[in-house]
């Protein structure tokens, strides 16, 4: 791809992501308990973490995938918000002192620093419940679709096939020598599962068939891998301003990362390969997947 085309496409995608972010934030604001209602501290903590300026990548992916399969935005938006709630609950709990012990997230104090540990635990717990409630109560979708979506989201978030398993394996791996295959498995569960789930849920709402769902799962898996490799690379190469968190943190805490395992050059090659495989998965789908292509391009070239 020529570089001016890339720049043009990136600009278009960025404005599309900004539009979907705005949409998701309006809906999240409607769905979450008001901060003035009791128990106020927990509701404030939920909103503090949900409205911390996240990129809303998982909702954007769900919306884009659903739209590629012909679903309407109003059929997709609640489930998109549910994925963001699950993602945010996991960030709140991962940041806790007993877990990764992070004070800063997206350039602001983390939930337990701004409030307190008990409130952060409860805010995360509540956000998880609210995610499933959001889908269960979405009367724009048939009950059988809602059940399929909840089933997908639970698999992506739980153990042994999802996010909690990934976080647990990640903690077990800290300060221990791990292989490339183990790092890949940790990230497949910790980050990949929810990304695959978001893409699959978009496709499910768009009534994708089994063959299409398989292709979307492969697309999501390589996108998730790409997302993690570029995240690790940014941790080594970017500045704190770009990241909104402390760079070099992974190295300090002896987290297993792609650059640590393979060096920066080989990690970059792995990113390029994941990008190619994600694009190949999209070739299997006879739908307008242009935006999904641009999303992988965007993640390959991202700077923050």
Taking each helix axis from N to C end, the angle separating 57-68 and 290-300, rounded to the nearest 10 degrees, works out to 150
**Cis amide bond preceding 160, omega within 30:** yes
Minimum CB separation from a copy of itself for residue 80, in Å? 18
Write the binding mask 119 to 158 for a copy of itself: x where contact by CB under 8 A, - elsewhere.
x-xx-xxx-xxx-xx--xx----xxx-xx--xx--xx-xx
Using CB under 8 A, which of 117, 242, 266, 283 touches a copy of itself? 117
Of 66, 57, 58, residue with least CA distance to 288: 66
CA angle 296, 247, 250 (to 5 degrees): 85
Please give the span between the terminal C-alpha atoms of the chain, in angstroms, as a whole number: 21
Closest to a copy of itself by CB, 82 vs 296, is: 82
Minimum CB separation from a copy of itself for residue 129, in Å? 4
CA angle 99, 220, 181 (to 5 degrees): 55
Closest to a copy of itself by CB, 138 vs 297, is: 138
Using CB under 8 A, which of 53, 70, 107, 160 touches a copy of itself? 160
Taking each helix axis from N to C end, the angle separating 73-94 and 57-68, rounded to the nearest 10 degrees, works out to 150
User: How many C-beta neighbours within 10 Å does residue 187 have?
Assistant: 24
Minimum CB separation from a copy of itself for residue 130, in Å? 6
207 binds a copy of itself (CB under 8 A): no
The answer to whether the beta carbons of residues 153 and 132 sit under 8 Å apart is: yes
Minimum CB separation from a copy of itself for residue 8, in Å? 41
36 binds a copy of itself (CB under 8 A): no
197 binds a copy of itself (CB under 8 A): no
Angstrom distance (rounded) from CA 274 to CA 263: 17
Residues sharing a CB contact under 8 Å with residue 217, sequence separation 6 or more, in sequence order = 196, 199, 200
201 binds a copy of itself (CB under 8 A): no
109 binds a copy of itself (CB under 8 A): no
Minimum CB separation from a copy of itself for residue 255, in Å? 14
Minimum CB separation from a copy of itself for residue 60, in Å? 23
Of 48, 59, 49, residue with least CA distance to 24: 59
Span from 113-121, 199-207, 234-242, 258-266 in contact with a copy of itself (CB under 8 A): 113-121
SS3 53: coil
Closest to a copy of itself by CB, 89 vs 222, is: 89
78 binds a copy of itself (CB under 8 A): no
| DSSP codes joined into one string, 167-214 | HHHHHHHTTS---HHHHHHHHIIIIIHHHHHHHHHHHHHTT--HHHHH
SS3 2: coil
Using CB under 8 A, which of 118, 207, 240, 272 touches a copy of itself? 118
113 binds a copy of itself (CB under 8 A): no
Angstrom distance (rounded) from CA 236 to CA 246: 10
Minimum CB separation from a copy of itself for residue 91, in Å? 12
Binding residues for a copy of itself (CB under 8 A): 33, 37-39, 41-43, 89-90, 93, 96, 98-99, 116-119, 121-122, 124-126, 128-130, 132-133, 136-137, 142-144, 146-147, 150-151, 154-155, 157-160, 162, 164-165, 167-169, 171-172
């Amino acid at each position: 791809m020529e570089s001016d085309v890339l720049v043009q496409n990136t600009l278009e995608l960025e404005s599309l992501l900004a539009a979907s972010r705005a949409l998701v934030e309006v809906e999240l604001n409607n769905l979450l308990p008001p901060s003035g209602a009791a128990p106020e501290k927990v509701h404030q903590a939920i909103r503090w973490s949900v409205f911390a300026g996240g990129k809303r990548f998982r909702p954007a992916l769900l919306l884009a995938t659903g739209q590629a399969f012909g679903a309407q935005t109003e059929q997709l938006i609640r489930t998109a918000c549910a994925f963001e709630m699950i993602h945010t609950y996991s960030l709140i709990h991962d940041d806790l002192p007993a877990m990764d012990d992070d004070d800063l997230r997206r350039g602001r104090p983390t939930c337990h620093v701004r409030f307190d540990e008990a409130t952060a635990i409860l805010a995360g717990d509540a956000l998880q419940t609210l995610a499933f409630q959001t889908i269960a109560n979405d009367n724009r979708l048939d009950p059988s679709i809602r059940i399929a979506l909840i089933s997908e989201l639970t698999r992506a978030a739980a153990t042994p096939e999802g996010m909690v398993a990934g976080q647990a394996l990640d903690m077990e791996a800290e300060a221990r020598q791990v292989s490339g295959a183990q790092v890949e498995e940790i990230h497949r569960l910790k980050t990949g599962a929810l990304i695959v789930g978001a893409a699959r849920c978009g496709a499910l709402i768009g009534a994708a068939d089994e063959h299409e769902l398989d292709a979307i799962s492969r697309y999501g898996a390589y996108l998730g891998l790409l997302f993690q490799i570029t995240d690790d690379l940014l941790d080594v190469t970017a500045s704190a301003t770009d990241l909104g968190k402390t760079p070099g943190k992974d190295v300090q805490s002896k987290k297993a990362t792609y650059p640590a395992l393979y060096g920066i050059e080989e990690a970059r090659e792995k990113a390029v390969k994941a990008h190619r495989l994600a694009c190949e998965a999209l070739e299997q789908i006879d739908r307008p997947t242009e935006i999904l292509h641009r999303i992988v391009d965007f993640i390959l070239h991202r700077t923050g």
